[in-house]
Chains A and B, each alone.
Chain A
């Protein structure tokens, strides 16, 4: 079970209150987490990564275990604590603007 924390705007859009829990089929990577997230909440498509290229949107960040995973390969394994459900994967709107 992977735990995902969405930023406030996307929680509102997806109509979820707290964390999202996802069951993955395969290795836990950013790509599979986002695939599963978008499958359950189709309204999130295009808001975290580009529809076509699946490239992360510029002002979205992925944090976990006090690390910035934003620049990791989308196919890299997530930290063990995230895979084990001990720590959540944080999807964050980058600090920008006023």
Chain B
């Protein structure tokens, strides 16, 4: 029988939540890596027992952990992230040049075809790849070498490469997003990159139509339609129908279009989920009501999903990597909050229940559909 495994990264450890295919009873693991910040955990799509995890803290830096048994045991693998060549500078908050310095791994994206290949998005923004199951890492420096690199500037959370989307129809195509530089695409497996920010308009930068400088929060894709991308930008929910060559706003009737998380239904490429957040200065839901919004039309027309979610006095946030879907039918949707709740819906968002309520602040949620 199929099942579901939720990989939860929190400020103070990682948790593995498991259920059978009914998704109504969950087993919650003891904390893995207790006390460490677990920015992201993700499983290989071609080997459900192969997991990668980013573990860090301010004292002892960055570690990468790998599990070969579905999270029962872990092995610390390579944690040496060295920028290729002379790192150079990007812009600091005050506009002065600042040397590139490695701080942490925000996101791990396992290859769609090879369990030993995994990509890492890091702060200060760069993309690394391992082809030996995380033992060693090499930078794909063509991204940082993009001519706009010296103009990239950190967002409030740091200058992080937080989103990596691999195209299932084209192994050479990779999308990434950086705060606050924008979105980039490679069509040659990471050797060269182009900025894909045409159509994004950002009020917080001097030229709202600038090639780079946009604070992209997350990008999501449905695997059956890889040229269609959905983006939650700092403000604005955006859609591209041409692999990022151009973007149109699809915020439509959302009550606020600020937010972090965005994801796509596993079986309906036009069904999209976001969690609107009041504003960039108040990182909590509007009116104290935690509402997921679902569009079944690829954006613009959104409906509030509230059943089972707190509709008063709720002031949590849902971070960019803290939403995921399973591939069961009906599709399961999951998200975690900075208040430590993980909510699950086994009916594509129509109703929700808390799987667990009192974890440390949730940084990331990924889901594996187990066979």
Residues of A within 8 A of B59 (CB): 7, 9, 57, 59-60, 93-94, 96
- State whether A93 touches B82 (Cβ < 8 A): no
Which of B60-68, B148-156, B232-240, B242-250 is the contact stretch? Answer: B60-68
Give the docked Cα–Cα distance between A13 and B36 (Å): 11
Chain A proximity of B263: nearest CB distance (Å): 32
Known: A9-B35, A47-B60, A47-B63. 16 other contacts (CB 8 A): A9-B57, A13-B60, A13-B63, A13-B76, A43-B63, A43-B76, A46-B63, A46-B80, A47-B61, A47-B79, A51-B79, A51-B82, A59-B59, A60-B60, A94-B59, A96-B59
**Residues of chain B at the chain A interface (Cβ within 8 Å):** 35-36, 57-63, 76, 79-80, 82
Chain A proximity of B218: nearest CB distance (Å): 28
Chain A proximity of B281: nearest CB distance (Å): 23
Contact with B along A1-22 (1 / 0, CB 8 A): 0000001011001000000000
Residues of A within 8 A of B76 (CB): 13, 43
Residues of A within 8 A of B63 (CB): 13, 43, 46-47
Closest chain A residue to B58 by CB distance?
A59
Give the docked Cα–Cα distance between A46 and B59 (Å): 11
Residues of B within 8 A of A46 (CB): 61-63, 79-80
Number of A-B contacts (CB under 8 A): 42
- State whether A51 touches B80 (Cβ < 8 A): yes
Give the docked Cα–Cα distance between A13 and B62 (Å): 12
Chain A, interface residues (CB within 8 Å), range: 10 to 19
Interface presence of A31 (CB below 8 A): no
- State whether B60 touches A9 (Cβ < 8 A): yes
- State whether A45 touches B79 (Cβ < 8 A): yes
Closest chain B residue to A51 by CB distance?
B80
- State whether A9 touches B36 (Cβ < 8 A): yes
- State whether B60 touches A48 (Cβ < 8 A): yes
Chain B proximity of A53: nearest CB distance (Å): 11
